[in-house]
Amino acid sequence: MHTHEHQFDLEKKIAEFETRCRQKGLRITPQRVAVYKALVGTDTHPTAEEVHKMVRQDIHSISLDTVNRTLLTLAEIGAAFQVEGTGQPRRYDGGLENHQHFRCISCGQIVDFHYDPYENLHNPGQVLENCTILRKTVYLEGLCGECSDTPA
C-alpha cells in the first residue's frame, strides 16, 4: 500500500473510531486516539507495554496504566480485541476485518490469516441454544515455518 493510501486508510479508521466513541458516549481524548492510532498502525498484535512505548513518542507523559485502561476500553466498545489463547501478557488487535490467528509456540510470533470456511462455523445447536454469538474466533497454535526448520 502506498504511503498516501495508508494515510487515507488510517484517517478513515480514526474517523470511524471517533464515531464509535460518540455512539458509546465516550469522550474522544488525545490519549484514546493515540492508543487507537498506535494499535491500528501495526500488525504485530502488541502488548500494552509495546503500545505504551509507541504512544510515548507523541504523548511523553502518558502512563502504562492509562494505556492499559484505554486498551480494555477499546475492547469493550468493539474498536479492538484481545487475541485469545496467548496467555499473559495480553496482546491486542486493531484489525476488525474477519480473520483468524496462528501463534508460534516457539518464537511467539502471531500471524493473521483468513480462511473462509472458518467464517461459516455453525452454532453447535443445543449446547448454545439460548446464546447470542457476537463474534467467532479461530486461534491456531504450532510452529511457524522458520521454527519448524530449526533443528532441536
- Indicate the pTM of the whole model: 0.65
pLDDT band at 73 (very low <50, low <70, confident <90, very high): very high
For the chain, residues classed under CATH 3.30.1490.190 are 97-149
Rounded to whole angstroms, the Cα distance separating 34 from 23 reads 19
CATH of domain 97-149: 3.30.1490.190
CATH of domain 3-82: 1.10.10.10
**pLDDT tens digits, residue range 105-126?**
788 788 888 888 888 777 776 6
The b-or-e profile of 52-76 (16+ CB within 10 A means b, else e) is: bebbbeeeeebeeebbbebbebbee
- Residue among 97, 101, 89 at smallest CA distance from 137: 101
**pLDDT tens digits, residue range 12-57?**
889 999 999 999 999 999 999 999 999 988 888 888 999 999 999 9
For the chain, residues classed under CATH 1.10.10.10 are 3-82
Given a cut of 60, whether residue 3 has pLDDT beyond it is no
